[in-house]
């Protein structure tokens, strides 16, 4: 027999539970409903140890040392630190790490078989002594039926299973071997069933009409794994445990936690008493669950602003998404980032609660203040998406500070490419919540850093107006392409985020054959819309909007804008709007060698061949690559190398090898009438103008390398020699750049 033969605690007596409940109710700052306390009390260990000494009138309260304060941008909450039976707590379907598994209230389209709809979450309220509705520190949801409630909890557990994150260990084995080291955070929630309960032959209800549960705000994965070690499910902890799992027989359910938890602990203690010693390889559930028989937990028991409690507890958990210790689904993490920003605005009084609920996906878009009553699906989605864009790239100075603080960003004037990309992903991810299927949030990475540092100010025009005038109105067309097209195309699978290697990326061609996708960035696809047939591009956008409104796949359109019968597919889009290869900046004509110049001077003194071809025939030199510099696209999939414009050679031997004589004034003018000196001055302007672009491209590419390395969990991208070679080039370049201003000033006319 093992040294501790009864590791699983029994519930405290009913008298001790009631004493603890009353003490909690009498504690200042605690305003959780009594019913919620009654639900959790059986799971708590050493209830008496949580109580202080009686006051002069014999009233006891919770120990001050057991209370903690949570402070977030949304408000404050009070928690009590307890030791809890490991079977306590319930997986929370409203956990933001699994938000993309559900049909969002913000999606105006109908339900699909792939995603279930979650019940809305409200503050728990009741009438006080004056007959006024008063909010308490708990949540409430209305669920159609008990079966629906059970299905929701099961789906939440399954969604967590798919989002376990990148851990260097197996969580369940860690719990078996080491127990739970960090406390979870739990909040009380009441689920009221709309459907009347089933009755037995005597008319007695077979189950309660409401269920209380303490939902895991933080620690959902640990809660799920603990329940599995105990041989239970979260749905059973919430709605009743089968008697057969408690050492009994039959399918009857036990609903009272005091009853079923006592039976469970007795059964497990008896089972544990049959083994000689604890061995983690023993598959008896009593042995497997021994280290989590009792765990630390934090229970939310109060808030001065209980109507904001849902947002408060969510924001307390969002730092794990903004600064994640583990990698979770990109959409869920990006949505949490956006919601943390919205919460910061609400707390500062810059955004009203109702608008924030709609933008965060917790309420239908039709509840937006000022939403048109006759708005179509596409118009509702567009209204929400554009409001989100404005909130994530604000022009208001106060909001710029708030978002900077919420996301720990650089000042607006120094906003970096990764910071812009994170905001863009947050916008894209939360926008996709209004659609039946989420896309890769990297679709939103379409902005140049310099264009959005000061925020994005939209025209405020309605979608129907933009679509109606886009053929002839340049501003309307550009607004549609810049801020709508990418999401609409992604929603129907016509484009996706560039993921690097095309191996395995296949799509169906029009005739049913398999076609390889074209690798292209989102910006490239948008530029193709801009640079091809305007009539066809506008027709595509109109058809995508109409397809949303009619809940059907979009159909192809002709070059003249006519609607065709075949469905629109990615292969068709790539063919009609082919990949843009980029265009060079306009450059002055390359000066030609003087015809009277002897050939021998062309290569004199510089080693160039005497019969070098003329500037027209000279191939452009490849851009020099630093020694040891790797090919980015070859090492990190998903980064499309930026084409570097190569300047045209000035003459036969190239710009760097041009003889001194050719740079002197006095030669015959070029066919366009400009002298060689004027052409050289033009070239200086062009080359200097490219410097900033190339520097930005280098920085943005390096930022992309860093992003890809994090996504792929790649610790080292460059070898030591490669990094040294790159770093050495930077000061060399800077030395040359520092000389340019003085040289330019020496050749410029005096300032007035």
Q: How far apart are CA 272 and CA 647, in angstroms?
A: 79
57 within domain boundaries: no
Task: Provide mean pLDDT across the span 136-141.
Answer: 96
Q: How far apart are CA 592 and CA 596, in angstroms?
A: 11
In total, how many domains does the chain have?
4
Task: Provide mean pLDDT across the span 726-735.
Answer: 78
For the record, the structure tokens of 275 come out as 């083994």
* Share of residues in the chain with pLDDT > 70 (%): 80
Q: Is pLDDT of 102 > 60?
A: yes
Q: Is pLDDT of 109 > 80?
A: no
Instruction: Indicate if 487 and 351 belong to the same structural domain.
Output: no
654 within domain boundaries: yes
Instruction: Indicate if 274 and 170 belong to the same structural domain.
Output: yes
Among 72-76, 123-127, 505-509, the least confident range: 505-509
125 burial level (CB within 10 Å; 0-12, 13-18, 19+) = middle
Residue 727 has what pLDDT? 79
589 within domain boundaries: no
Q: Is pLDDT of 670 > 60?
A: no
Task: Provide mean pLDDT across the span 423-437.
Answer: 94
Residue 614 has what pLDDT? 40
Instruction: Indicate if 335 and 445 belong to the same structural domain.
Output: yes
Of 441, 458, 475, the last residue of a domain is 458
Q: Mean of the per-residue pLDDT values for the chain?
A: 82
Give the three-class secondary structure for 210.
strand
Instruction: Indicate if 193 and 301 belong to the same structural domain.
Output: yes
Instruction: Indicate if 163 and 90 belong to the same structural domain.
Output: yes
Q: Of all residues in the chain, what percent are helix, strand and coil, respectively (each to 5)?
A: 45, 10, 45
Task: Provide mean pLDDT across the span 25-45.
Answer: 96
Instruction: Indicate if 430 and 306 belong to the same structural domain.
Output: no
Residue 692 has what pLDDT? 76
Q: How far apart are CA 692 and CA 524, in angstroms?
A: 21
219 within domain boundaries: yes
Q: Is pLDDT of 631 > 50?
A: no
Q: Is pLDDT of 608 > 80?
A: no
Instruction: Indicate if 574 and 516 belong to the same structural domain.
Output: yes
Confidence of residue 729 (pLDDT cuts 50, 70, 90): confident
pLDDT in tens, 274-288: 888 888 888 999 999
For the record, the structure tokens of 1 come out as 């027999």
Going from the C-alpha of 254 to that of each of 15, 44, 45, 237, the distances in angstroms are 21, 19, 21, 10
108 within domain boundaries: no
Going from the C-alpha of 126 to that of each of 28, 130, 210, 310, 736, the distances in angstroms are 19, 11, 15, 17, 74
Task: Provide mean pLDDT across the span 55-61.
Answer: 90
Instruction: Indicate if 632 and 683 belong to the same structural domain.
Output: yes
Q: Is pLDDT of 606 > 70?
A: no
Instruction: Indicate if 446 and 475 belong to the same structural domain.
Output: no
Q: What are phi and psi of 295, to 5 degrees?
A: -130, 160
Confidence of residue 674 (pLDDT cuts 50, 70, 90): low
Regarding pTM above 0.85, the answer is: no
517 within domain boundaries: yes
Q: Is pLDDT of 653 > 60?
A: no
Confidence of residue 672 (pLDDT cuts 50, 70, 90): low
Domain hosting 381: range is 329-458
Of 580, 610, 633, the last residue of a domain is 580
Instruction: Indicate if 236 and 217 belong to the same structural domain.
Output: yes
Please compute Rg for the chain using Cα positions: 33
pLDDT in tens, 473-523: 999 999 999 999 999 999 999 998 865 444 334 444 444 444 445 578 899
DSSP-assigned letter for residue 107 = -
CA-nearest of 283, 281, 345, 361 to 108 is 361
Q: Which residue has the higher pLDDT, 729 or 553?
A: 553
Q: Is pLDDT of 752 > 70?
A: no
Instruction: Indicate if 567 and 649 belong to the same structural domain.
Output: no
Confidence of residue 74 (pLDDT cuts 50, 70, 90): confident
Instruction: Indicate if 393 and 276 belong to the same structural domain.
Output: no
268 within domain boundaries: yes
For the record, the structure tokens of 461 come out as 């025009």
Task: Provide mean pLDDT across the span 596-614.
Answer: 39
Q: Is pLDDT of 94 > 90?
A: no
């Amino acid at each position: 027999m093992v040294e501790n033969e009864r590791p699983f605690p029994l519930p405290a007596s009913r008298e001790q539970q009631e004493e603890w409940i009353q003490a909690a109710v009498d504690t200042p700052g605690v305003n959780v409903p009594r019913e919620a306390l009654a639900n959790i009390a059986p799971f708590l260990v050493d209830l008496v140890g949580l109580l202080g000494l009686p006051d002069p009138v014999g009233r006891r309260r919770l120990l001050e040392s057991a209370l903690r304060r949570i402070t977030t941008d949304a408000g404050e909450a009070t928690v009590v630190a307890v030791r809890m039976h490991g079977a306590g707590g319930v997986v929370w379907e409203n956990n933001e790490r699994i938000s993309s598994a559900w049909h969002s209230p913000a999606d105006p389209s109908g339900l699909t078989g792939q995603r279930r709809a979650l019940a809305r979450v409200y503050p728990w309220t009741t009438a006080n002594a004056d007959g006024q509705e008063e909010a308490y520190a708990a949540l409430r949801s209305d669920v159609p039926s008990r079966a629906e409630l059970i299905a929701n909890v099961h789906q939440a557990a399954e969604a967590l299973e798919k989002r376990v994150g990148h851990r260097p260990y197996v969580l369940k084995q860690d719990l078996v071997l080491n127990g739970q080291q960090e406390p979870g955070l739990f909040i009380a929630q009441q689920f009221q069933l709309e459907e009347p309960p089933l009755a037995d032959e005597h008319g007695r209800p077979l189950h309660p009409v409401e269920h209380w549960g303490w939902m895991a705000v933080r620690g959902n994965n640990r809660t799920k794994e603990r329940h599995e070690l105990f041989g239970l499910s979260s749905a059973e902890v919430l709605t009743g445990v089968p008697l057969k799992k408690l050492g009994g027989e039959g399918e009857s359910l036990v609903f009272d936690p005091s009853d079923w938890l006592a039976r469970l602990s007795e059964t497990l203690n008896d089972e544990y008493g049959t083994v000689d010693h604890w061995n983690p390889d023993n598959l008896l559930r009593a042995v497997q669950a021994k280290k989590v028989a009792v765990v630390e937990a934090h229970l939310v028991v109060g808030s001065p602003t209980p109507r904001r409690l849902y947002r408060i507890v969510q924001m307390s958990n969002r730092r794990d998404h903004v600064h994640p210790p583990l990698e979770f689904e990109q959409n869920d993490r990006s949505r949490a980032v956006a919601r943390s920003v919205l919460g910061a605005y609400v707390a500062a009084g810059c955004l009203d609660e109702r608008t924030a609920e709609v933008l965060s996906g917790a309420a239908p878009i039709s509840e937006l203040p000022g939403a048109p009553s006759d708005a179509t699906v596409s118009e509702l989605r567009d209204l929400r998406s554009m409001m989100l864009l404005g909130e994530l790239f604000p022009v208001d100075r106060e909001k710029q500070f708030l978002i900077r603080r919420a996301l720990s960003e650089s000042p607006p004037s120094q906003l970096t490419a990764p910071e812009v990309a994170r905001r863009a992903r947050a916008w894209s991810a939360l926008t996709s919540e209004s659609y039946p299927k989420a896309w890769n949030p990297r679709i939103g990475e379409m902005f140049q850093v310099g264009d959005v540092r000061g925020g994005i100010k939209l025209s405020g025009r309605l979608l129907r107006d933009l679509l109606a005038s886009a053929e002839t109105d340049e501003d309307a067309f550009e607004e549609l392409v810049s801020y709508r097209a990418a999401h609409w195309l992604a929603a129907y699978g016509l484009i996706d985020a560039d993921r690097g290697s095309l191996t395995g990326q296949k799509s169906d061609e029009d005739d049913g054959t398999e076609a390889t996708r074209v690798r292209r960035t989102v910006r490239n696809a948008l530029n193709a819309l801009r640079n091809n047939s305007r009539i066809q591009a506008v027709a595509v956008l109109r058809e995508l909007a109409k397809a949303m409104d009619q809940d059907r796949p979009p159909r192809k359109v002709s070059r003249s804008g006519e609607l065709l019968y075949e469905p629109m597919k990615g292969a068709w889009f790539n063919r009609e709007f082919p990949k843009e290869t980029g265009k060079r900046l306009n450059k002055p004509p390359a000066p030609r060698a003087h015809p009277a110049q002897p050939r021998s001077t062309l290569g004199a003194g510089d080693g160039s061949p005497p019969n070098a071809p003329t500037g027209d025939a000279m191939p452009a030199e490849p851009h020099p690559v630093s020694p040891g510099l790797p090919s980015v696209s070859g090492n990190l999939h998903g980064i499309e190398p930026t084409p570097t414009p190569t300047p045209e050679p000035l003459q036969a031997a190239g710009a760097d090898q041009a003889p001194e004589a050719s740079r002197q004034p006095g030669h015959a003018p070029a066919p366009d009438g400009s002298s060689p000196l004027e052409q050289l001055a033009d070239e200086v302007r062009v080359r200097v103008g490219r410097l900033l672009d190339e520097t930005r491209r280098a920085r943005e590419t390096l930022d992309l390398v860093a992003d890809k390395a994090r996504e792929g969990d790649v610790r080292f991208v460059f070898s030591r020699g490669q990094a040294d070679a790159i770093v050495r080039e930077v000061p060399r370049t800077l030395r040359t750049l520092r000389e340019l201003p003085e040289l330019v000033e020496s050749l410029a006319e005096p300032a007035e």
